[in-house]
Amino acid sequence: MHERIAEIEARFEELTELLGDPEVASDHRRMAELARERSRLEPIVELGRRFRETEEALADARDLLRSGDEDERELAREEEERLTPLLADLEEELKLALLPRDPADEKDAIIEIRAGAGGEEAALFAADLFRMYQRYAERQGWRLEVLNTSEAGPGGYREMTFKLSGEDAYRRMKHESGVHRVQRVPETESQGRIHTSTATVAVLPEVDEVEVEIDWSEVRTDIFHASSAGGQNVNKVATAVRFTHEPTGIVVVCQDERSQAKNRAKAESVLRARLYELERAKADAEVADARRSQVGSGDRSEKIRTYNFPDDRVTDHRVRLTRHGLPRILDGEIDALIDAVAMEEQSRLLQQAATT
């Protein structure tokens, strides 16, 4: 661990020097990247300094216990009792801080919600999930930008794609990927029977052109008239954009903007994110089939959470956590659910680190 801390401290010093270099300062993009990296390393450097100072102080106290006079040994004993648990706590903090980071954690998030099994009720549930994430974004101080919508019936969505921009957006949201299930009595159900519906959520990191280069010769582009939920054309000019990536079959549609150029830019952003996630999934499978087995791979076929209205509860099946107060949760109070899955992931990574 000492060697790893020394490496991070050396990189931190290098970044500090680079940020003071006029040549680097002229490249605003690189400057921002280096500043983000330095900001990420700074708390680890500070933690390492505190760990080293505490370790040295504890070693001094133990030396006094062996060689000091009676008064010195008494003081040293008190110091040892104080510093031993402190050093253990700092060591655990460092282990967590030194865990491998997902390179996408600092990115913005693109979220796709799709109604699954359950018809109109599934579309309404997709809308509920969107509002839940919208309220959560407000609580986090993130910016939400709708990229594309496909309405289904009054108040429901067949599909909804949006972007969340802000600190830790992807890191906090990434484990929301999967199948969300709802159990409730629909308003149109006269017999009071509980119906089960689903919606899928996919969370993708937003990437730029440098990270994913699209070969446009492999992409079919269709321009068409945007349609409303009832199927009517809402624009006289064809502004909606559909990209079909032929090698993978990925299809992206954006039609919410009145400008074709804006729809094209949004569709390109989503296509780039989905291609990036596809490559990440391939790499993960090659490295280890069970990499995220305990917290969920983000596979859309995996049921991750159930929202049970009759019992006023939400259950996350990955960590076997149940919380009551469904209205509050659907109003964006989902930190406890997100934190539980993140802690499970940390625990698994710590176990992996201990055995390698």
Within this chain, do residues 253 and 337 fall inside the same structural domain, yes or no?
A: yes
Q: Of the spans 89-93, 115-119, 191-195, 318-322, which averages the highest pLDDT? A: 318-322
Global pTM value: 0.69
Note the pLDDT of residue 312.
Answer: 96
Q: pLDDT digits over 220-236, tens only?
A: 999 988 765 444 545 56
- What's the Cα-to-Cα distance from 159 to each of 123, 229, 330, rounded to whole Å? 8, 11, 18
Is 353 contained in some domain?
Answer: no
Within this chain, do residues 12 and 130 fall inside the same structural domain, yes or no?
A: no
Q: pLDDT digits over 308-330, tens only?
A: 999 999 999 999 999 999 999 99
Sheet holding 303-308, edge to edge: 143-151, 157-165, 109-115, 195-205, 178-184, 303-308, 313-316, 321-324
Residue that wins the pLDDT comparison between 312 and 299: 312
Question: Given 66, 97, 128, which residue is the final one in a domain?
Answer: 97
The answer to whether the beta carbons of residues 341 and 319 sit under 8 Å apart is: yes
Is 71 contained in some domain?
Answer: yes
For 76-103, what is the mean pLDDT?
A: 88
Note the pLDDT of residue 69.
Answer: 86
Tokens of 190: 């006269």
Instruction: Please choose, from the candidates 36, 132, 149, 51, the residue with its C-alpha nearest in 3D space to the C-alpha of residue 91.
Output: 51
Note the pLDDT of residue 287.
Answer: 47
Residues of the domain holding 338: 109-347
Within this chain, do residues 80 and 145 fall inside the same structural domain, yes or no?
A: no
Is 18 contained in some domain?
Answer: yes
Q: What is the DSSP letter of 227?
A: B
Handedness of CA 274, 135, 175, 44 (dihedral sign): positive
Is 355 contained in some domain?
Answer: no
Point out the least confidently predicted range of 14-18, 150-154, 341-345, 348-352. 348-352
Is 354 contained in some domain?
Answer: no
| Residue 343's CATH number | 3.30.70.1660
Tokens of 344: 């499970």
The domain total for the chain is 2
The answer to whether the beta carbons of residues 165 and 108 sit under 8 Å apart is: yes
Instruction: Please choose, from the candidates 81, 101, 90, the residue with its C-alpha nearest in 3D space to the C-alpha of residue 174.
Output: 101
Question: Given 65, 97, 129, which residue is the final one in a domain?
Answer: 97
Point out the least confidently predicted range of 188-202, 211-225, 266-280. 188-202
The answer to whether the beta carbons of residues 343 and 320 sit under 8 Å apart is: no
- What's the Cα-to-Cα distance from 343 to each of 28, 41, 293, 335, rounded to whole Å? 35, 21, 14, 12
Within this chain, do residues 142 and 78 fall inside the same structural domain, yes or no?
A: no
Question: Given 76, 97, 118, which residue is the final one in a domain?
Answer: 97
d(CA 164, CA 161): 10
